[in-house]
Amino acid sequence: MKRAVIYARYSTDLQNDQSVEDQIRLCKAHAERLGLNVVGELFDRAKSGASMFGRPGLARLMQKAEADEFDVLVAEHPDRISRDIADLAHIHKTLRFRRIEINCVNGGAMDTVQIGMYGVVGQMQREEGAKKVKRGMVGVVRSGRNAGGKAYGYRPVPGRKGELEIVEEQAEVVRRILSLYASGIAPRAIAATLNDESVPAPRGKRWNASTLNGNGQRGNGLLLNPIYAGKLIWNRVHMVKDPSTGRRISRINPEIEHEEIEAPHLRIVDDALFEAVQNRKASRGGARSRSTPKYKRLLSGLLCCGGCGGGMAINGSDRSGPRVICSTHKESGSCGNGARYYVQKIEQQVIETLRAQFADTRIIDIYVKEYEAERRREAAEKRRNRATLDRELEEAKMAITRIVERLAKGLIEDDDAAAILPGLRADRDRLQRELETIEPPSNVIELQPRSVRAFRENIERLAEVISKRGETPPVELAQSFREMIAGVIVEPRKAGEPYRIEIKGYVSGLVSPELSSVLMVAEEGFEPPTQGL
């Protein structure tokens, strides 16, 4: 009697553990009818037939074939052996070389023609199944549901497949992370702060910079995920199997194939903050952000050479700490400013300058006056815009009323009214939405002294941190500082001369949502200014 080995497999899409036993029972009956002696039963549970890799049962089968332990391979169907044309042909070729026959319950003895036919059919069915799954997922995404994957800040809605809801505790962490990053704080510093505060990480025990950065090309990572701005983007990547290893590899899809759906119910941050994060991400290298330098000190990225306007780069360090030099001079020598500056000394002068500025009540008075003038301009502009929209909305409502009255009196045909009214109603609804977005002018002048006081307190705390060499400012303090400082210009100097710096500041951090520039100068033996900015 010929020796037979039975092979059974079920795919991950079948999800029926009993199908292996069912296949083996059918194969045993088939072997008995053929007068075969079953000497082994091999199987793979929940394994795809798209590859030979990762299937220990099939690997054992090929080892037994090489050892000449059986004469016939019995399977329910050729697609249980493989659903890939090349793999099925390879298995058939190898077994035929060893004089082993493939005999299936459905199909009988397999020859080359049948193997080719079943291989084509099996692969076509597998690929068509994948297309159907993808079409189903497109429908899920277009309905505003999640097609797979888990984003920090959300959890599935029980009993409603594919629907997500916001976890407010995690949403607050998301808002904080994006706000810190938009203000200039590095992902590594943000992650360190969250770990110090024992904030639970999305995965694992600790936050990492990679958790925030993700992969720029694939658009993942907490800083890049559009779901936080109320958008679902699906089909960014597709998976393919490497035929030489059987491993699934992700490939980026063209942007035209992406599915983008508005999901306002999943919004955690507003568009302005999310856009600010994306702009900063792009400015720091975008998809290549991992290879771009990240700031580590309070003034990193803010220092400029007063000679050429270029940036400043680290140029070694000694016992007094790291030093910087004009990057233009360092790279090309085209700038004549070859002086070295101690970073900590510049930081101390910047902090002392700000302390002096905010100790002078006359400077704060200037801030208040500028603030009041700006708010008056904004209030007047809002009143003009609101009055215009109110007038246009009233006109749209009156036009609708006139059409309805004419329709009621029989002065206009139904078809004409049906053609005119939708446009008028659309104008009315648009004007109402625009009015809702314009907040009435509010008196926020009382908040300004509080902002100045808070910033002054932060400066005092920063001064204390900076005085202790090696300490890193807390991220919230650094955020507040970098929201106020646009840049620090370091003037050229000769050996032995004192440092002279100019601070480009944003008044907006204290007095106005509009950007304003203030110039503050600091030298050795700096005295608070006696005149306005």
Range of weakest confidence among 106-120, 267-281, 453-467: 453-467
Higher pLDDT: 503 or 499? It is: 499
**Residues whose CB is less than 8 angstroms from the CB of residue 455 and which lie 6 or more positions away in sequence, other chains included:** 358, 480, 484, 509, 510
Retrieve residue 2's tokens: 């010929």
Q: What pLDDT, on the 0 to 100 scale, is given for residue 531?
A: 31
Residue ranges of E strands in 12-128: 37-44, 72-75, 101-104, 108-109
Range of weakest confidence among 101-110, 173-182, 307-316: 307-316
Q: Which residue has the tokens 């792009």?
A: 282
111 pLDDT above the threshold of 50: yes
Q: What pLDDT, on the 0 to 100 scale, is given for residue 446?
A: 42
376 pLDDT above the threshold of 50: yes
Burial of 207 (0-12, 13-18, 19+ CB in 10 A): buried
Residue 24: band (very low, low, confident or very high) from pLDDT cuts 50, 70, 90: very high
Q: Model confidence over 69-90: pLDDT tens digits?
A: 999 999 999 989 988 888 899 9
Q: What pLDDT, on the 0 to 100 scale, is given for residue 193?
A: 84
Higher pLDDT: 94 or 411? It is: 94
DSSP-derived pairing of the beta strands 101-104 and 72-75 = parallel
| Alpha-carbon span 57 to 51, nearest angstrom | 13
Q: What pLDDT, on the 0 to 100 scale, is given for residue 83?
A: 86
Q: What pLDDT, on the 0 to 100 scale, is given for residue 94?
A: 92
Retrieve residue 261's tokens: 């759906």
DSSP state, residue 1: -
Q: Which of 77, 60, 55 is nearest to 5 (CA)?
A: 60
User: Which of the residue ranges 16-25, 38-47, 312-321, 340-349 has the most confident prediction, judged by mean pLDDT?
Assistant: 38-47
Residue 466: band (very low, low, confident or very high) from pLDDT cuts 50, 70, 90: low
DSSP-derived pairing of the beta strands 108-109 and 154-156 = unpaired
SS3 113: helix
100 pLDDT above the threshold of 90: yes
Per cent of the chain over pLDDT 90 is 14
| Alpha-carbon span 144 to 266, nearest angstrom | 9
Burial of 8 (0-12, 13-18, 19+ CB in 10 A): buried
Are 32 and 72 a contacting pair, CB within 8 Å?
no
Residue 361: band (very low, low, confident or very high) from pLDDT cuts 50, 70, 90: low
Are 84 and 50 a contacting pair, CB within 8 Å?
yes
Q: What pLDDT, on the 0 to 100 scale, is given for residue 496?
A: 79
DSSP state, residue 269: S
Residues facing 109 on adjacent strands: 103
Q: What pLDDT, on the 0 to 100 scale, is given for residue 472?
A: 60
DSSP state, residue 26: H
Are 372 and 343 a contacting pair, CB within 8 Å?
no
370 pLDDT above the threshold of 70: no
Are 288 and 216 a contacting pair, CB within 8 Å?
yes
For 122, other C-beta atoms within 10 Å of its C-beta total 23
Higher pLDDT: 177 or 444? It is: 177
| Alpha-carbon span 251 to 247, nearest angstrom | 13
Count of helix runs (H) and strand runs (E) in the chain = 15, 18
Sheet (strand 72-75) strand order: 37-44, 3-9, 72-75, 101-104, 108-109
Phi, psi angles (nearest 5°) of residue 481: -65, -50
Are 352 and 520 a contacting pair, CB within 8 Å?
no
Q: What pLDDT, on the 0 to 100 scale, is given for residue 249?
A: 66
Per cent of the chain over pLDDT 70 is 68
462 pLDDT above the threshold of 60: yes
Q: Which residue has the tokens 């629907």?
A: 163
Higher pLDDT: 369 or 523? It is: 369
Q: Which of 196, 197, 216, 194 is nearest to 207 (CA)?
A: 194
Residue 292: band (very low, low, confident or very high) from pLDDT cuts 50, 70, 90: very low
DSSP state, residue 253: P
Q: Which residue has the tokens 């925030």?
A: 212
DSSP for 364-412 reads HHHHHHHHHHHHHHHHHHHHHHHHHHHHHHHHHHHHHHHHHHHHHTTSS
Q: Model confidence over 130-161: pLDDT tens digits?
A: 666 666 666 655 665 655 667 888 888 887 77
Are 334 and 328 a contacting pair, CB within 8 Å?
yes
Q: Model confidence over 388-432: pLDDT tens digits?
A: 888 888 888 888 888 888 877 778 777 777 878 888 888 888 888
Residue 493: band (very low, low, confident or very high) from pLDDT cuts 50, 70, 90: confident
User: Which of the residue ranges 100-104, 116-120, 165-169, 313-317 has the most confident prediction, judged by mean pLDDT?
Assistant: 100-104
Q: Model confidence over 214-231: pLDDT tens digits?
A: 765 555 678 888 888 888
